[in-house]
Chains A and B, each alone.
Chain A
Amino acid sequence: MALKIGDYKTEVHNDWCPGCGDFGIVNAIQMALSEMQIPRHKAAIFSGIGCSGKTSHFINVYGVHTLHGRVLTFAQGAKLANPEMTIIAAGGDGDGLGIGAGHFVAAGRRNLDLTYIIFNNGVYGLTKGQASPTLRLGEKTKSLPSPNTNYNVNPIGLAIASGFTFVARGYAYDVRHLKDLIIAAVRHKGLAFLDVLQPCPTYNDINTRDWYSGMDRIDEAQKQHSRIYKLEDTGYDPTVHYDSEPELNEKLTQALIKSLEWDTKIPTGVFYKNEIISQYERRIMDKIPNYMENPPSAQVISANGKPTTDISKILDSMSV
């Protein structure tokens, strides 16, 4: 029986502020799961701490709401122990790029086959609007006592530099496009990163829905110019097609350059995709050939309450 979007929804009361971009992201995740028909027990949402962290409770698959900044560590542990699971990690920009930035970089270097979605709202929502790492230098959102004193991190650029092999950006209010990006990210073989521009109507009065849609950018013909555009509409090719250094360098640099666009032209879509770099799972198989068919979660360790592991050869080598 086909699974419908409703099957991926829980009945948990959603306490996000009205108009919050997070709603769009949860919808897109549910749509993507249903379109891919992933059995509910084969998927798990891991989330960090923040408004965004509540995401896992709203989706009717395994849901693990972890610690502030640590979502990738839990998610990777589960994926390593049970590589059959479809795992999506989700969390705030503070969560992933502030307190959790070390894990972000390390995860990129590993390149496990999972998807990481950052809810990029420029603020720490749940702690009432302090600056997040993506807020620009000198900007003063509503509840900041004074303008931001830090330069912003570039999430797309950081992901590319860290080794993520699929790097894309979506917009919380373009749910269909976001759903397609999530599907592409999940299907990607390797670690996928999705930077989702998520307006926070309560605390971020700069990067608002109106700002993204260009309400302030109306030309003489009364035409509104959205800041957001789609890379795929420009003929941009994000994919590394062959295993050659010039090809790789070209795709990396074009993505980096694109990642610097902001303010009047904000690209969404896939910036970079590379399936030539090996997944971490493959690297384990180089050492443990049957890892994928007999991963930690599948291993039989006992029979009738007694160990089935035979360590006698090792003990023999230690005998005197």
Chain B
Amino acid sequence: MLNQTDISWLIGGPQGSGVESGANIFSRACAAMGYEVFGKREFYSNIKGEHSYFVVRISSNAIHSNINDITMMAAFDAETVFRHTDGVIKNGAIIYDSDLVATKVDEVHTLDDFFKERLVKYLDSKNKPHTIQGILDIAQERGVNLFPISFRNVLSTMADEANNPRLKGMVRMFNVLGVAFSLGVFGMPPETLLSSIDVIFAKKKAIAELNKQAANYAYNYAAAKFPNFANHLKPIEKKSGNLLVQGYQGTALGKMACGCRFQPYYPITPASDESVYLESNEILEVKENRPGSTVVVQTEDEISAMGMTIGGALTGARSATCTSGPGFSLMAEALGWAGINEVPIVITLYQRSGPSTGLPTRHGQDDLMCTVYAGHGEFPKIVYASGDIEESFYDTGRCFNYADVYQVPVIHMMDKFLASSVVTCKRFDSDKITINRGKLLDKIEGEYKRFELVPDGISPRSKLGLENGIFWNTGDESDEYGHISEDPELRIKMMDKRFSKLDYALDTIPKEEQAVSFGVFDYCVISWGSAKGPILDAIDMLKKENINIGFIQIKLLHPFPTAYVKSLLKNAKTIIDIEANQTGQLGILLKQNLEQGPDYYILKYTGRAMTSTELYDSLKNILANKAEKRQVLTHGA
């Protein structure tokens, strides 16, 4: 059944054809009408030509994930139709380019053989030709509404009417046409469409004008031609103070606010968007009479990024880098150096599917063990994970505090799902961020020992350039001054000093920062990171059926908050571990620390983010006692 207030819209096309800007225009328009938006981009490791798509879910209620069902699809190429038609629900809509109906499966070169084989089998089983028409027929028989439009004809009549022949060949505007047709069919007010275009193309006025002209025409065309789509969208009451945020902006804005002033990085998907965004906003307004700035440096590799970050941190500046799995692997040696030298740094880790380059542009949460155990030898570090974009802003502030207070490297876990989401969320509030630099000194008198053996294990910290604060660092074991020493007794003292900081961290990091309980019931989900969104939505769906499922989100993954998690799980009878990897890595940590592993696993490692729909189905299986111990999710093209 169509639900007026919960709609998913899909736009697809070849990479480089503006799928993303199309989706951004749509998202903004919907957000401007008062809706909550949750959008997610899927794309190949490719620049031009391969298939990419964006699913935007909009709702009058809070949403945290995508669902399986697509209400409307806007397709301006054949591949999108072939790949996604099946996801469109009964009474839903497909707006497609009618010039493409005769296109055969074989003619779409970007379809891979695995998919083609499945598609042809499917078409044969329904006795349909191997064409766009074939797949659309099946949809129509299921009750999907078809809205054929010749994109080219629309362009050329528009060009004639506007007496602007330049418009005729503007196939680059197919994306905007797709959005405008959709909004026309949805019967949304056109003003939001036009103002969204202004915002998205704010830096390119001429392009904005051209697109607005086309959008306006296309909107009216579709609204007039297809006025009867049952599912019209009206503006609703707007919550004030909402932002429309691109996933990577949460950590970037968090860094600006909490005073990160130095970020060396090496380009890698999906992490570099954050650094590029930081650099684009490098000059900062500060409550002081001179502007501040973030120095962002593109380095020659991740080893250099890490070395520079450490060098920056030694001067007292809050320093961070941002990377993904392959880069993080390269940083491991220097991570240990930061550990033994007690240097506060933050590594923002946007995970993607590994191993190696794996699925370079796809989602995964498979680096948990890798971060917990990163680097040879034994040294303290903190691993902290954000569950959504709003959290990531505030968590960034926390991570820098942990780094400064405990003088350890902190790995802030993010992922591709978060990075390439576009969501509405409450305006970030810098006042909720606290800045705690720990024992960083501004002034030193008398003798100074950087690694002084003090009772709480945290020695007062000098910085390069500070008078009387001279220290030595070395990756070798050292004495209190930082000079090399291989004395066995001193070794024990220094190792124990460093490790005592982890106990201290567990004692002093507030419980609510360590893990978050969304309620505990007989059945209780345990998870970390971005799986949070789909889990919350799935639990919500179950609640509507009067089924209560608990959920504990673990944020502090190392050191593991054993006592607290144990106490939270006290009343849970069945523990269900949900995460985006093959081996159930949080489950491993649980077994290690709680001597009790999960009873069930729901795992996904296709590289596509979980949908709440598939989690709902899996949880239902478990509740019905019909589930295997390990369920593997598969949804998504």
Q: Which residues of A are in contact with B by a Cβ distance under 8 Å?
A: 10, 12, 39-42, 44, 46, 49, 54, 56-57, 60-67, 70, 72-82, 84-85, 102-103, 105-106, 284, 287-288, 290-291, 293-297, 299-303, 305-311, 313-315, 318-320
Name which of B238, B287, B315, B337 has the most chain A CB atoms within 10 A of its CB.
B315
- Determine if A70 and B303 form an interchain contact, defined as CB atoms under 8 angstroms apart: yes
Cβ-closest chain B residue relative to A59: B472
Name which of B75-83, B306-314, B569-577 contacts chain A.
B306-314
B491 at interface (Cβ–Cβ under 8 A)? no
Q: B171 within 8 Å of A by Cβ?
A: no
The distance in angstroms between the C-alpha atoms of A10 and B470, with both chains bound, is: 12
Judge if B41 is at the interface, Cβ distance under 8 Å: no
- Sample of 8 further A-B pairs with CB below 8 A, known A288-B283, A296-B293, A297-B261: A63-B471, A64-B472, A65-B472, A73-B305, A78-B311, A102-B304, A305-B435, A306-B431
Given contacts A70-B334, A307-B259, contact A63 B428 (CB under 8 A): no
Q: State the CA gap A244–B474 with chains docked (Å).
A: 44
Interface mask (B464-486 → A, CB under 8 Å = 1, otherwise 0): 11111111111110000011100
- Quick check: A315 and B427 within 8 Å, CB to CB? yes
B123 part of interface (Cβ distance < 8 Å): no
| Interface pair A62/B262, CB less than 8 Å apart | no
Please name the residue on chain B nearest to A12 by beta carbon.
B483
Are B285 and A41 in touch, CB under 8 angstroms?
no
Please pick, from A75, A299, A315, the residue contacting B311 in the complex, using a CB distance under 8 A: A75
On whether the beta carbons of B430 and A82 are closer than 8 Å, the reply is no
Chain B residues within 8 Å of A57, by CB: 472, 474, 483-484
Whether A320 contacts B470 by the Cβ 8 Å rule is no
Interface: B456 (CB within 8 A): no
Cα distance A79–B317 when bound, in Å? 11
Q: Which chain A residue shows the least CB distance to B308? A: A77
Query: Could you list which residues of chain B lie within 8 angstroms of chain A, going by C-beta atoms?
Result: 28, 31-32, 238, 241-245, 249, 253, 256-259, 261-262, 264, 281-288, 290-295, 297, 299-301, 303-319, 333-334, 337, 397, 424, 427-428, 430-431, 433-437, 463-476, 482-484
Is the CB–CB distance between A290 and B475 below 8 Å? no
Chain B nearest CB from A74 CB (Å) reads 4
A194 vs B482: C-alpha distance when bound (angstroms) = 27
Cβ-defined contact, B310 with A82, below 8 A: no
Is B261 a contact of A296 with CB atoms below 8 Å? yes
Tell me the complex Cα distance, A54–B478, Å: 13
**Complex contacts, A303 vs chain B, CB 8 Å:** 287
Residue of A62, A301, A314, A320 near B32 (CB, 8 A) is A320
A132–B114 CA distance with the chains assembled, in angstroms: 50
Q: How far is the CB of B441 from chain A (nearest CB, A)?
A: 12
Q: Are A309 and B430 in contact (CB under 8 A)?
A: yes
A314 touches B281 (CB 8 A): yes
The answer on a CB contact under 8 Å between A65 and B262 is no
From A72, A79, A102, A307, give the contact of B257 (CB < 8 A): A307
Cα–Cα, bound, A313→B285 (Å): 9
Which of A67, A76, A287, A299 contacts B261, CB < 8 Å? A299
Q: Which residue of A lies closest to B397 (CB)?
A: A307
Flag if A67 contacts B307 (CB, 8 Å). yes
Complex Cα gap A39–B305 (Å): 29
Task: Give the shortest distance, in Å, between A63 (CB) and chain B (any CB).
Answer: 4
A299 close to B317 (CB less than 8 A): yes
**B183 CB, min distance to chain A CBs, angstroms:** 16
Q: In the complex, are the beta carbons of A42 and B465 less than 8 A apart?
A: yes
A296→B317 contact, CB < 8 A: yes
Residue of B nearest to A79 (CB): B311
Chain B contacts of A302 at CB under 8 A?
259, 435, 437
CB distance from B478 to the nearest CB of A (A): 9
Most chain A CB within 10 A, of B264, B283, B293, B337, is at: B293
**12 pairs from A and B in contact (CB 8 Å cutoff):** A44-B464, A66-B337, A73-B305, A77-B309, A81-B312, A106-B299, A294-B293, A296-B319, A301-B292, A305-B434, A309-B286, A310-B285
- Nearest A residue (CB) for B238: A320
CB neighbours of A72 from chain B (8 A): 307
What is the chain A residue whose CB lies nearest that of B279?
A287
**Which A residues are in CB contact (< 8 Å) with B262?**
77, 80-81, 296
Question: In the bound complex, do residue B261 and residue A301 qualify as a contact, i.e. CB atoms below 8 Å apart?
Answer: yes
A50 to chain B, nearest CB (A): 12
User: Which chain B residues border A319 with CB–CB below 8 Å?
Assistant: 241-244, 427
Complex-state Cα separation, A303 to B435, whole angstroms: 9
Q: Which among A54, A295, A299 has the greatest number of chain B C-beta atoms within 10 A?
A: A299
Q: Which residues of A contact B463 (CB under 8 A)?
A: 297
B312/A296 in contact, CB under 8 A:
yes
- Give Cα A305–Cα B435 distance, bound, in whole angstroms: 5
Residues of A within 8 A of B476 (CB): 65
* Contact call B287/A308, Cβ cutoff below 8 A: yes
A74 and B311 CA atoms in complex are apart in Å by 4
CB pair B293 A41 closer than 8 Å: no
| Cα–Cα, bound, A295→B465 (Å) | 13
Contact B314 A320 (CB under 8 A): no
| B333 / chain A contacts, CB cutoff of 8 Å | 67
Q: Which residue of A lies closest to B291 (CB)?
A: A290
Partner of B482, one of A63, A82, A310: A63
User: Known contacts being A106-B300, A299-B261, is A308 close to B288, with CB within 8 Å?
Assistant: yes
Residues of A within 8 A of B310 (CB): 74, 77
Q: If A41-B470, A65-B474, A294-B293 touch, does A310 touch B319 (CB 8 Å cutoff)?
A: no
Of A40, A103, A293, A309, which is within 8 A of B259 by CB?
A: A309
Given the interface contacts A76-B308, A80-B308, does A311 sit within 8 Å of B256 by beta carbon?
A: yes
Partner of A62, one of B245, B312, B337, B471: B471
Query: In the complex, which residues of chain B have a beta carbon less than 8 angstroms from the beta carbon of A54?
Result: 484
CB <8 Å contact, B261 and A320: no
Question: Residue of B at shortest CB range from A304?
Answer: B435
Q: Tell me the bound Cα distance from A313 to B483 in angstroms.
A: 47
Chain B residues positioned under 8 Å from A314 (CB to CB): 253, 256, 281
Q: Which residues of B contact A77 (CB under 8 A)?
A: 262, 264, 307-314, 319
Query: Is the beta-carbon distance between A67 and B430 smaller than 8 angstroms?
Result: no
Asked whether B292 lies within 8 Å of A299 as measured between CB atoms, the reply is: yes
Q: Are B295 and A85 in contact (CB under 8 A)?
A: no
Q: Contact: B470 with A80, CB < 8 Å?
A: no
Q: Name which residue of chain B comes closest to A280, CB basis.
A: B297
CA distance A183 to B292 in the complex (A): 33
Q: Which B residues are in CB contact (< 8 Å) with A63?
A: 470-473, 482
Residues of B within 8 Å of A311, CB to CB, are: 253, 256-257, 284-285, 428, 430
B256 to chain A, nearest CB (A): 5
Report the separation of the CA atoms of residues A296 and B259 in the bound assembly, to the nearest whole angstrom: 9
Complex Cα distance A287/B283, Å? Answer: 8
Q: In chain A, what residue has the closest Cβ to B321? A: A77
**Chain B neighbourhood of A61, CB < 8 A:** 470
Name the one of B285, B295, B436, B469 contacting A295, with C-beta atoms under 8 angstroms.
B295
Which residues from chain B contact A287 at a C-beta distance below 8 Å?
282
A40 to B242, CA, bound (A): 52
Q: How far is the CB of A178 from chain B (nearest CB, A)?
A: 23
* Chain B residues whose C-beta falls within 8 Å of the C-beta of A309 in the assembled complex: 256-259, 284-287, 292, 430
Chain A residue numbers with a CB within 8 Å of B290 are 290, 293-294
B435 touches A307 (CB 8 A): yes
Residues of A within 8 A of B466 (CB): 41
Q: Flag if A78 contacts B315 (CB, 8 Å).
A: yes
**Which chain A residues lie closer than 8 Å to B306 at the CB level?**
73
